[in-house]
Structure 1
Amino acid sequence: MSPAELDRTSRKPYPDTPSGIMRLPPSFKAAAAAARYFDPASREAQAESITVRIRWFGLCVGYLYVNLVERSTGRPELNGMLTLGAIYALLDTLASWKGKVLLKEYRIGISLMEALFIGLLCNFDLGVSSPFRFYYFLSVLVCAIRHSSRLTFATFGLHSLSYIMLGLYAAPQQESDIVTVILTLVFLGWAAWAIISLTGLLRSAGQKLVILNEELQSNQQLLERRIAVRSKELQESQAMLVQQEKQAAFGLLAAGIAHEVGNPLASISSIIQMLSRKNSDEYVKQRLDLVDGQLTRIQRTLRELTGFSRPTNQQQSTVDVHASINDALNIAKYYKRWKGKTIVSSYALNLPHIRTVYDQLVQVMLNLILNALDATNEGAAIEITTELIAETDSVPGRIGIHVRDEGHGIPKEAQEQIFQPYYTTKDHGTGLGLFVCRQLTRHALGGEITLVRSTHQGTEFFVTLPAVLDSGSETGSHSSIVHPAKSQVH
C-alpha cells in the first residue's frame, strides 16, 4: 500500500459512524507518517531534496569565501569552477522538482566528478590547506544519504585518492601541510564510517518500522472488518428485537380482544343453547343451531389468533413440518388479501419429523405465505410443496419446502437486498419479513432460505432444514392429510 493510499485508508470513518466523525489511533497516524518517510520512492525524493540544499549551501559559502577574502591569484578560476558547480546544482534542482534524480544511472561517475571538482578547487586555492577540502566531507555525507554504504565507501576512496594526488602535485611547502593531509584523511575516513553507520542504522530502523506498519495496517483492516461485522449483527439484532416487540404488543392486544369478545360470545352461546333446548319449533331450532355454529367459528378464530400471538416457545420439540405449514395457512386465511387466491399444498410421502423450534418454523412459513399473497392478484395460485433431499457424501439429508406464487416478481436490482433488514419493495412494508425468515431459518432452525427465481411470471423461495430424525418420532405426513402426498386446495 502506498503512502497516499494509506492516508486515504486511515481517514475512512469506521462503519456505521457519522461521516463527519473520525477516530484514528495515534499509533496509526504515526505509522502512516513513517510509511511515507520510509517508502523507497518517497525516501529517494526526500534524500534528493536534502542533497540539493547541501549543494547550494556549499556553493554559497564557496562564493562568499572566494570573493570576500583577499587573495592575489586564483579568483577567476575559482569563480569559474563554482559556476560550473552551480550549473550542475541547478540541473539537479530542476530534476528534483520533477521527482527525478539527475544522472541516476551514473552514481559512481558523479562521485568521480565531485572528487575531481573538489581537488581542482583546492588546487586553485591554497592546496591541501584550502578550506574547500571540507567539500569532501559534504560529498561523503550526500552520498551516504542518497546511496548504499558500498558506494559511500567507494566515494571515500575516490576523495582520498583525489586529496593524496593533490598533496603530491602541490608539493607541501612545510611540515604542517603533511600533518594537514594526514589529519584530513583520518577525519574523512572517520566521518565516512560514522555517517555510513548512522544511515545504516536509520535504514534498518526504517525497515523494521515498515514491517511493523504493515502489521498495524493488517490489524487495522481486520479491526475494521470486525467492526463492520459486529455493526451488521447489532443492526440485525435490533431489527429482530423490533419485530419481537411488535409481536409481543400484538399478542397483548389479541389477548385483550379475545378476553373482551370471548366472554360475551360465551354468554350468547349459552343463551342460544338454552333457547334451542326449550324451543320445540324445528325451524327456530335450525336457525339457533346455525347462529351457535357461527359463534363457535368466531371463538375458534379468536383461539387461533391468540395462540399464534402468544410468547414464542424457544424450546425445541419434535416437529411435523406439514403441521407447521397448515398452522401457518390457518393464520394466513384471515389476511385481507387471501380472498380469490388458490393455495395448493403438495406434501411429500413419509417426511420425517424433525427436532426444532415449532413456533419459529410457523413464523417463517407464515411470512413467506403472506408475501406470496401480497404479490399475487385474485385468481392466481400459490403452491407449497415439500420434499426429502437424499443424503450425499458431502451433504447430509435435508427437508426442502418450496413456496411458489404467480405474482409480479421481485425487481432484479432488488433481489440481492431482499434479506437485508428494513429493505422492502412494498408501499407499506416494514422490510423485516424476509430478514426475519433468514435469521430464524439460519440461527434457530439450522437451515437455509434462498430465492430460487423471480420473474414477471412469479417467485419461488426454497427453505431447507436438516433432516435429523428425533428419537421416538414417526415418519409420515401431517394428520390432516388423509393420504400421504395428497394435494390440498385451500
Structure 2
Amino acid sequence: MNYMENKNTPNPWDLDAEAIVVKIRWFGVLIGYFLVNATDMSGDRRGLLNAILAIGVGYTLLDTYFSWKKKVFLADYPLFIAAMESLFIGLLCYYEEGLSSTFRYYYFLSILCCALRYSWIVTALCFTFHCISYTTLVFLLNDNSQSKLFISLTMIVMGWLAWASTSLTSLLRRTSSSLEVLNQELLKNQSELEARIAERSKQLQEAQAQVLQQEKMAAFGLLAAGIAHEVGNPLTSISSMVQILQKKELDDYTREKLDLMSGQLIRIRDTLREVMDFSRPANLERKKIKPLPVIEEAMNIAKYYKRTRGKVILLPVPQNLPTINGIHDQLVQVILNLILNAIDAAGTGGIIEVGIAVEGNTIIFQVSDNGPGVSKTDVEKLFLPFFTTKKHGTGLGLFVSQKIIEEHQGMIRYYQKPEGGSLFSATIPSNNFALSIEPTKVPHD
C-alpha cells in the first residue's frame, strides 16, 4: 500500500517527507563511511564494507535526484525497497562486528524512513523484514557472546520505534490534512470576499455614474432654460416686428426678404423648442408607443450635432409595426446616443444607417456606420461605466443606454460588420410590461 494518493503528483506532505528521508539517508551513509575508515580493521574487510556502502551512496543519489524533480524513487515498490534495505543492513552488520555492529542502528533509521514515506502496513512489513534479517544474522554468526536478552531487546526497540514513528507520522498526516482543508476554506472565503468586494465596487461605480449623469442633465436643463429665456424674448420681439412689416405695402424684393427672415425665425424657435424638450425631465409614464417616431425624433435632434459630417439614412421601415410599452423619452435618448456615436466613428463622408426590424414579438432598433469599428480588446469594455475611446468622452453613454434597455426588458448588443464598421442593436419586446423606473438621461460620449 503506497502512501501516495496520486503517484504522478505527490501532495505537499509526501514531498516534505521525501526531503527528510533523503537527509536521513545521507546522514547514514556519511556516518557509515566515517565508521569504516576511522576504526581499526583489516584492509579486505574495509574495502568490502566501502563497496557495500557505495551501493547505498548510489541509491541515495538516485533518491536525491528524484526528490529534486518533485518525485519519489521507486514509489510503486515500497516492499522491494524494505527488503533490499534489510539485506543491505544485514550485510554491513555481518562484515563489521556482527550482532553488536554499530550498523544495526541502520534498522532504526530504515524504519523511521519507512514510517515517514509509507502507510502503517508497509512500516509493519518493513519491521518484519528487519527482524528476519537480524534473526538470520543470529543463526549465521552463531555468536554466543551476545545474550538472548540483547537480541530480544534490539528487536523490541525496533518494534517500538515502528509503532511510535507510525503513530507520530499518522498524527502529522492528519494535522497536515486538516490544515490543508482549512487552507482551502480560507482560500474559498477569500475568493468569495474578493468577489463581493468587486460586486460592491461595481455597484458603487454604477451608482456614481448615475449620479454624475443626473447632475450633468440637470446642469444641461438649467443651461437650456437660460438660453431659451435669453434668446426667446428678443426672438419674440424680432418676430413681432417682422409680422408688422409684412402687413404693410411693400415691394416684392422686400417682402421676399421678410418672408425668408420669418422662416428663419420659425426655424430658430423650433430649434429652441427641441432643445427644451430634450432637456426637460423625462416623462415616467409607460404607455404604448410607436417605434418609428422614436427614431424620427432622435434623427431630428442629431441633425444639430456640430460634428455631423456624413449622411444619416433611415432605412425602409416595415409596414404595420407593432407598438411597444415603454418610456418614449428614454428610448429617444438611447437611439440618439447610438446615432451620435456612429457619427463620431464614421467621420467625414461617413454613412450612418438607422433602421427598425421585427423579429417574432420583438422590435429591433439598429444603428450602423462604416467607420473602423471597435478593437477586440475594447469590445468587452464598451458598456462599462467611464470607459471611452474618445478624447473628450465621459464613458457614460453606452453604460446608461444599456441600463435603460435592460429596464425595458430588452438587451443591447454590439456587432462587428464583415465589411467593416459597427452595428448596435437594441431589442425590446413588443409586449413589454416592465415597472416604471427613475428616468435617466443619456449623455453623448
TM-score (norm. length: structure 2) = 0.77
Q: Which residue of 2 aligns with 1:110?
A: 81
Whole-Å separation in 2 of the counterparts to 1:452 and 1:106: 60
Q: Which residue of 2 aligns with 1:187?
A: 157
Report the count of equivalent residues: 420
Q: Which residue of 2 aligns with 1:94?
A: 61
Give yes or no for the alignment of 1:398 onto 2:362: yes
Give yes or no for the alignment of 1:373 onto 2:343: yes
Root mean square deviation, CA, Å: 3.9
1:59 and 1:76, CA in 2 relative to 1: closer, same or farther beyond 3 A?
Answer: farther
- Structure 2 counterpart SS, 1:355: strand
1:464 Cα shift?
0.9
1:366 Cα shift?
0.4
1:22-421 to 2 correspondence within 5 Å?
A: 40=10, 43-62=13-32, 76=43, 79-80=46-47, 82-99=49-66, 101=72, 106-124=77-95, 127-171=98-142, 173=144, 177-221=147-191, 224=194, 231=201, 235=205, 238-239=208-209, 241-273=211-243, 279=248, 291-313=261-283, 316-338=286-308, 341=311, 343-344=313-314, 346-375=316-345, 382-390=352-360, 397-405=361-369, 407-410=370-373, 413=376, 416-417=379-380, 419-421=382-384
1:374 and 1:106, CA in 2 relative to 1: closer, same or farther beyond 3 A?
Answer: closer
1:197 and 1:142, CA in 2 relative to 1: closer, same or farther beyond 3 A?
Answer: same
Whole-Å separation in 2 of the counterparts to 1:468 and 1:264: 47
Q: Which residue of 1 aligns with 2:417?
A: 454
1:414 Cα shift?
6.8
Contact 2:24 2:109 in 1 (8 A): yes
- Structure 1 counterpart SS, 2:373: coil
Contact 2:286 2:325 in 1 (8 A): yes
User: Structure 2 counterpart of 1:263, which letter?
Assistant: N
1:351 and 1:111, CA in 2 relative to 1: closer, same or farther beyond 3 A?
Answer: same
Q: Once the two structures are superposed, what CA deviation does each residue of 1:340-399 show, in whole Å capped at 9, x if it has no partner?
A: 735335444443433323322111110122234345578876543324322xxxxxx211
- Structure 2 counterpart SS, 1:441: helix
1:219 and 1:79, CA in 2 relative to 1: closer, same or farther beyond 3 A?
Answer: farther
Structure 1: state its 5+ residue gaps: 1-38, 391-396, 472-490
Whole-Å separation in 2 of the counterparts to 1:134 and 1:470: 86
- Structure 2 counterpart SS, 1:40: coil
Q: Which range is displaced more, 424-433 or 357-366?
A: 424-433
TM-score (norm. length: structure 1) = 0.71
1:104 and 1:274, CA in 2 relative to 1: closer, same or farther beyond 3 A?
Answer: closer
1:439-450 to 2 correspondence within 5 Å?
A: 439-442=403-406, 444-450=407-413
Whole-Å separation in 2 of the counterparts to 1:437 and 1:354: 17
1:172 Cα shift?
5.5
Structure 2: state its 5+ residue gaps: 1-8, 435-445
1:440 and 1:298, CA in 2 relative to 1: closer, same or farther beyond 3 A?
Answer: same
Whole-Å separation in 1 of the counterparts to 2:163 and 2:389: 74
Contact 1:418 1:434 in 2 (8 A): no
User: Structure 2 counterpart of 1:119, which letter?
Assistant: G
Q: Which range is displaced more, 182-191 or 227-236?
A: 227-236
Q: What percentage of aligned pairs have identical amino acids? A: 44
Whole-Å separation in 2 of the counterparts to 1:159 and 1:87: 21
Whole-Å separation in 2 of the counterparts to 1:366 and 1:382: 12
Contact 1:92 1:102 in 2 (8 A): no
User: Structure 2 counterpart of 1:438, which letter?
Assistant: Q
